[in-house]
Structure 1
């Protein structure tokens, strides 16, 4: 128990230290953590072996659920054609390509074993790419595509993997049966996800209490996953669908206080789980390499080249081909331009294709992660007949190599590539949209204020209404001035006037002085700690409304 506690504390210390280095160096934390895990694996002392069932049951559901809560259901629907192309079709083609390559060029390898490896390495893990993409300011559409693909591709890969394992064990392979199984598993996962999402809805009164909301939110992905797995459908899809629906309805299903606290809890969960996952990836290298003694160098090199080559080359080729299909094949789903930009008018005709720069960035965003390793480690040691599972150790090494090459190689070069291509979000346009929404919100509040005053409630004080009106009018004028400034923005850069930046510095200095005074009152005994914490929260919320430091 003490050893386990020391390992956990050491992991947390490593995560915090690497995050500090990543923030100051600009390097991706995922790649640095993986390299840290490799370095630790070769030091004397206890090591942690990856338990695939533990990862798939305890780590994957909360990570997927948190990502789904942070995604946009409407944006994914608008880009559904590309998301499905990447998360279903490309995963399937990748698995088949690696399987065929193994059967043709790797001595003694079977098609089923190759497809199992292909299914494991086919789904990209978007964590590293999204972390870098948000930092360098990728456009919203690219973020949506990376998110949407990452949410849905695991279900496709794990379903193909289960079919391939069954075939490799001698149960035979039937294409119609495999397709039918995939459709049933996927449809069942979606159904369970929808059920869980709306089963949570009656708990919205409970969810208005921040602590209860946190408990319900943390339990939801595990309930969705376990329920789906218990009826033999996709637990991954169930978690994702539940998260997308709950995230979409969260503004009306939960109170503001609950949302603030739940968001903070999930950020902490993501920070720790993602850090532990990448450390865990690196620590598997010695175990993976130790099983290669039975293979010749030529076999290892051929298998590695096929795996890494397909992973790196098929993705850009697929993106280019699908984006250059005839115009008639770029269909519209439900009257919505599913290939269009997030900000596009849904009533316009003709899908917006990905540009060359967007294809390059999406191609380089295909980093593999812990799901690939967890999936390949689920390969059984023996078949049903008692024979060793074909080429299991070689498959483990190839999967680890694909993860290492993409996570470290692509991860370290992703940000420089995005900067070199100049593919950035239009910050001024996004700020304009947010300020227009703020303006509309305040105007709606003023209209409601007029309605309340006209209703002449006895318990409503006119002076209170006028005070609230003055506050709203002040905000409205501030938002309109900001919109006027944004109207003249050039090159998509967010304009920051010297007066505006000076006002922010003054406001932060005032908040600092207010906190110091509250601490002084506490220290001299005029304010109890409970009162201090309550007043500090008020100042914290006020500071949270200020723009982030640049």
Structure 2
């Protein structure tokens, strides 16, 4: 594919996304629909990317950004739900779809059908999270959906590797599927930990926000490629790196934090717009490929629609069977640990919403196009065009059917947590109290001991202004001596104000680390503190010039 064509697709996708946002429409749905129509325009070239390019270039930054902005505390609290959806659900979907497709589609052997099952198994939570955030889903549900999206790709791609190897006869590094799966997990996590720790070590010593941001941009690609090089999970390496670098600490410069908060949303918007437009643009060429191999298009797409129904149905069936089974076990054992967050199950309405948030995305298309053309023996891979066509129908079908109806379902069921707002208010008040206490403690110490570069008397003169945060402005009619005096006072004000903000951030992070303060509230409060600190730092630097 030519570079200029790719750039035109990106511009097209961003433009359509902009109009969709302006009209308050769901961007993924609009991009897929417009892309599908555009694929039939005469002269539109086949927009095709190698699977390795999609998985190695498009996927890592999206996963890294999600992990970077996702609280690991929330991930750990909901680990049971996340693992059941992100791993067990993927295995269940692979098996259910595989056996059904083998029974339904004559062109698919059982092995090839299981390959199809692994291809369509991982949901992409981008659209669901966007809808949930807009409609105010409870934070726990948002955490489960986000956490699921961070681990299910790793599980699905591992199953994809195993099932493809069983069909082609290709040897994998480890014969035992269980040991291979464990190696993928452990290896990916270790690679992510090592690289992220190294990047954090380097960033703490270079003290240059631009370079620190560049290191953060390179990290997801390096983690993915390094893990894949040793045949571990690149997905888990990227997610682990994002968790490590995303953990809020008191030693990260404010300018770096602000830059990253601007950079990653922009990258997300660009890649997501391209991904959904790319999905839509495949439609005509998927149909053409089925025609080329002499298969009946109507029959193949009929099979695909039936498999789509199974894919959609498996998720709610598994969620409610799993939920009911665990509830029965707890009832039988008469055990309910109040400290076990997993035991505090979601309501049936919340489970229904989760079960309907199963839209597929670019990983499904990338895996489908990555199915080999032939086996090791030189035979054609059984039913490869069918796998590609079904994967496309499932990806686009789930996005359109579930994506269009999910907002209505959320509104009708009213799944809001009545206690969440009260808890958020309490945590926000706690954060404010910690900030106030830290500020007063620092100002009291500054009044008693002074600060470097200023006399104790000058500090005392400015403390009132700092406490009240009054505006420091100059009177144009003052004499030069008065202007110099005010300038010195202004510089001292900015220095004290910055030091107060640093003390507040340290206190808030310490409260989070001790478990007293919620991590999500900490991130929200620090957003405001960072802006103030950056402004004070900027004024200090201008005066130093």
Offset at residue 368 of structure 1 (A): 0.3
Three-state SS of the structure 2 residue aligned to 1:74 is helix
Offset at residue 21 of structure 1 (A): 2.5
Three-state SS of the structure 1 residue aligned to 2:250 is helix
- State yes or no: 1:37 paired with 2:12: no
Q: Matched residues in 2 for 1:242 and 1:328: separation?
A: 38
Task: Work out whether residues 201 and 253 of structure 1, in 8 Å CA contact, stay in contact via their aligned partners in 2.
Answer: no
Q: Matched residues in 1 for 2:171 and 2:405: separation?
A: 42
- State yes or no: 1:360 paired with 2:356: no
Q: Matched residues in 2 for 1:173 and 1:328: separation?
A: 40
**Structure 1 residues 2-41: aligned runs within 5 Å:** 4-5=3-4, 7-9=6-8, 11-25=10-24, 27-41=25-39
**Structure 1 residues 20-419: aligned runs within 5 Å:** 20-25=19-24, 27-45=25-43, 46-171=45-170, 177-206=176-205, 208-248=207-247, 250-293=248-291, 294-296=294-296, 300=300, 303-327=303-327, 347=339, 351-419=343-411
Question: Root-mean-square deviation (CA), in Å?
Answer: 3.1
Offset at residue 452 of structure 1 (A): 2.6
- State yes or no: 1:450 paired with 2:444: yes
- Which one of the candidate residues 468, 471, 479 is aligned to 2:469? 471
Offset at residue 242 of structure 1 (A): 0.9
Offset at residue 177 of structure 1 (A): 1.5
Q: Matched residues in 2 for 1:92 and 1:130: separation?
A: 23
Task: Work out whether residues 207 and 216 of structure 1, in 8 Å CA contact, stay in contact via their aligned partners in 2.
Answer: no
Q: Matched residues in 2 for 1:159 and 1:17: separation?
A: 34
Offset at residue 430 of structure 1 (A): 2.6
Task: Work out whether residues 98 and 110 of structure 2, in 8 Å CA contact, stay in contact via their aligned partners in 1.
Answer: yes
Task: Work out whether residues 165 and 379 of structure 1, in 8 Å CA contact, stay in contact via their aligned partners in 2.
Answer: yes
Task: Work out whether residues 119 and 160 of structure 1, in 8 Å CA contact, stay in contact via their aligned partners in 2.
Answer: yes
Offset at residue 200 of structure 1 (A): 1.5
Q: Matched residues in 1 for 2:330 and 2:446: separation?
A: 51
Task: Work out whether residues 20 and 26 of structure 2, in 8 Å CA contact, stay in contact via their aligned partners in 1.
Answer: no
Q: Matched residues in 2 for 1:276 and 1:122: separation?
A: 22
Q: Matched residues in 1 for 2:209 and 2:301: separation?
A: 54
Offset at residue 8 of structure 1 (A): 1.7
Aligned residues: 466
Task: Work out whether residues 167 and 173 of structure 1, in 8 Å CA contact, stay in contact via their aligned partners in 2.
Answer: no
Deviations along 1:304-341, one digit per CA (max 9) or x if unpaired, are 2452122101101111112122448569xxxx98xxxx
Offset at residue 172 of structure 1 (A): 8.8
Three-state SS of the structure 1 residue aligned to 2:372 is coil
Q: Matched residues in 1 for 2:169 and 2:226: separation?
A: 29
Task: Work out whether residues 46 and 285 of structure 2, in 8 Å CA contact, stay in contact via their aligned partners in 1.
Answer: no
Q: After alignment, is 269-278 or 351-360 more displaced?
A: 351-360
Q: TM-score, normalised by structure 1?
A: 0.78
Q: Matched residues in 2 for 1:229 and 1:92: separation?
A: 21
Offset at residue 228 of structure 1 (A): 0.6
CA 1:207/1:378 → structure 2, altered by over 3 Å: closer, same or farther?
A: farther
CA 1:298/1:180 → structure 2, altered by over 3 Å: closer, same or farther?
A: farther
Q: Matched residues in 2 for 1:390 and 1:241: separation?
A: 36
Offset at residue 255 of structure 1 (A): 1.0
